[in-house]
Amino acid sequence: MPHNIDLHAVTGPGGGAASSLTAPGHTSVFSFKTLNPGLYVYHCATSPVGMHIANGMYGLILVEPKDGLPEVDREYYVMQGDFYTKGGYGEPGLQPFDMKKAIDEHADYVVFNGSVGALAGANALKAEVGENVRLFVGNGGPNLVSSFHVIGEIFDKVYVEGGKLVNNHIQTTLVPAGGATMVEFKVDVPGDLVMVDHSIFRAFNKGALGNITVTGPENKEIYSGKQMDAVYLPEGSAIQSVDTGKAPAPVVAQTKEEKIKFGQRVYEANCQACHQAGGVGIAGAFPPLAASDYLNEDHKRAANVIVHGLSGEITVNGTKWNSVMPAMILSDNDIANVITYVLNSWDNKGGEISPEDVAEQRKAAPAQAVPGAH
Ligand SMILES: [Cu+2]
């Protein structure tokens, strides 16, 4: 699957998205001038954009002012993101991405630095009493705005939205999806500071919780005690097992028109990233599905290609392709729908295939598998 990067630090179309679109096995180069100092998000902007971002394809770039930022004792990177999985919070095993939950903005996980606990417990950030700490805080989204707060601290400085404006004495600062901020604070007393998204169920039930362990001498004047260890702990999945109901059974297309309609959605979510909008493909990487003689010649072979994947040399409209299409994990219904959609789009010759045809191909041998063709 190709990817690219939209760097918010770039002045230019798409933040470099078109210039950086790169198919597997390829390399792209472009250059830009950083005109504005600040802390900037970058993210993948390949369609479906939300899906790429929801898979964690983002990060932060710091463009330092000419004279640099003021010196501090510690600098740390904290990046929030929300994740959408077929299973609920904490369900074991590899969890596929859930497009429906993502569209509804119902996050199963909200985390710092990519996973639950990435900055908690043994992975806690560290500081010594008396030190100044700067956190570079970003929010990849894709959906949620963060109410970033450190339990037990007040931000001496907040670089509002990661820019030049500095606000002082802040308890909680907003970090928009696709935005960033820098916060600074001096740690005066020892103990465990807790970074959270103060949309607080996210912290205790969805993972948006990290620690900063501060060591050093007490200062009873600033804070008297009684101090407890680990007051704030994540609560885990048990507590949130409020019944959310079972996923409804999928709606099965009854007519060719419905297949085409449902198939379009399957195409946009699963095929378009490679075969592109309009099925035009990308020269040298992904063959066209528009007016494809290979496709029109044998509809069932197309089902075979989707179920088993395809590698080795093929000829599409007189051009040779020698690449790899991965097997797609889709239901027989989805595959019947997407092929019917493609057959009836973009100058293809029409036609229709059934879920039963797809099931047959699932049992059949791969149409063309040439191991080691690469
Ligand atoms: Cu991507």
- CA torsion sign for 48, 51, 55, 56 is positive
Query: In the 8-state DSSP scheme, what is residue 240?
Result: G
Expressed in angstroms and rounded, the spacing between residue 52 Cα and the centre of ligand 1 is: 5
Distance CA 15, CA 17 (A): 6
- Residue 170 CA to ligand 1 center (angstroms) comes to 35
Query: How many angstroms separate the alpha carbon of residue 79 from the centre of ligand 1?
Result: 18
Place of tokens 């949620």: 144
Q: Is the pLDDT of residue 88 over 60?
A: yes
Surrounding residues of ion ligand 1, Cβ less than 5 A: 3, 44, 46, 52, 57
Q: Is the pTM of this model over 0.85?
A: no
Q: For 111-156, what is each residue's pLDDT tens digit? A: 999 999 999 988 999 999 999 999 999 999 999 999 999 999 999 9
Using the mean position of ligand 1's atoms as its centre, give its distance from the Cα of residue 61 in Å: 18
pLDDT tens-digit series, residues 280-332:
998 888 899 999 999 999 999 999 999 998 988 999 999 998 888 888 888 99
State the distance from the centre of ligand 1 to the C-alpha of 115, rounded, in angstroms.
19
CA of 57 to the centre of ligand 1 (A): 6
Q: Is 214 left (phi over 0), alpha (psi -120 to 50) or beta?
A: beta
- List Cβ neighbours of 215 (8 Å cut-off, separation of 6 or more): 126, 127, 128, 129, 190
Cα separation of 203 and 232, whole Å? 10
The beta strand positions in the chain, using DSSP E, are 6-7, 38-43, 58-63, 74-83, 109-112, 125-128, 132-141, 146-151, 155-159, 166-170, 172-175, 179-186, 191-197, 209-215, 310-316, 319-325
